[in-house]
Amino acid sequence: MTSIGIFGRQGRMGHAIEREIERIGEGFAGGTDQGDDPAALAAKADVLVDFSSPLALEANLAAARAHATPILIGTTGLSDRHQAMIDAAAQDIAVLQTGNTSLGIALLSRLVRDAARRLGPDWDIEIVESHHRLKVDAPSGTALMLGDAAAEGLGTTLADSGVIGRAGLVGARAGGTIGFASLRGGTVIGDHQVVFAGEGERIELSHRADDRALFARGAVRAAQWLTQAPVGRHGMDAVVGV
């Protein structure tokens, strides 16, 4: 039985993951929230999942490294500095960082990467994401993850090709770019659409989340996978084998 610890236990995802752990009968090492000691949890857990906040990431990674405990990072809104921290931690422990723990999104990312590679820069790529009115970051971590997949397929990086939002007289669309649009309203859990627009035709790849429990199921499955994973940085694609 795998003992799973949760950073950010009192958050929406923390509660959902705890319920999933109980549902399937896995071990629960406990959880932390703001002000708690992450090292104490890292010492007794077989694997950690982090859905706290970017501000807590540095301390959580330090605790995981100190106790050689693999960690899943599902926190979104991370900066380049946070990504560098994750890269450094992955020198010592197994780390899986993702903007979305859905198994379906993992497959969609692979399809987007393959489509971008095969279609090439002559096809325009636009990513549209919709979320509930309370979401504080945009574009979503999932949209950025899909953008990274598209950029990889094109042989570039999102830093070089991404265009987030448009307003005013911005001119004609530049070739080889990846556009983003964000919608916020109501109680939408998460919809993502990747549009490949060519001459006289379009391909649309999409994913819709109907139940938040799907993210908890994916997170627990990823945590179980991490206990057997080698040291290094991993993604959800490895969990689903694509």
Residue of 82, 132, 135, 192 marked active site: 135
Cα–Cα distance list, 210 to 15, 131, 207 (Å): 18, 12, 10
Kindly list the distances between the CA atom of residue 162 and the CA atoms of 59, 82, 192, in Å, as whole numbers in the listed order: 30, 19, 16
Longest dimension (CA), the chain: 59
Please report which helix (H) or strand (E) contains residue 198, including its range. Answer: strand 190-198
Identify the DSSP state of 184. Answer: E
CB 10 within 8 A of CB 33: yes
226, 70 contact by CB (below 8 A): yes
Residue 207 sits at φ, ψ, to 5 deg, of -145, 135
Catalytic residue among 15, 44, 82, 131: 131
d(CA 187, CA 103): 22
Please indicate whether residue 67 is annotated as part of the active site. Answer: no
The answer to whether 82 and 54 have CB atoms below 8 angstroms apart is yes
Give the contacts of 37 (CB within 8 A, at least 6 positions apart). Answer: none
Please indicate whether residue 135 is annotated as part of the active site. yes
Evaluate whether 237 touches 109 at the Cβ level (below 8 Å): yes
The catalytic site residues sit at 131, 135
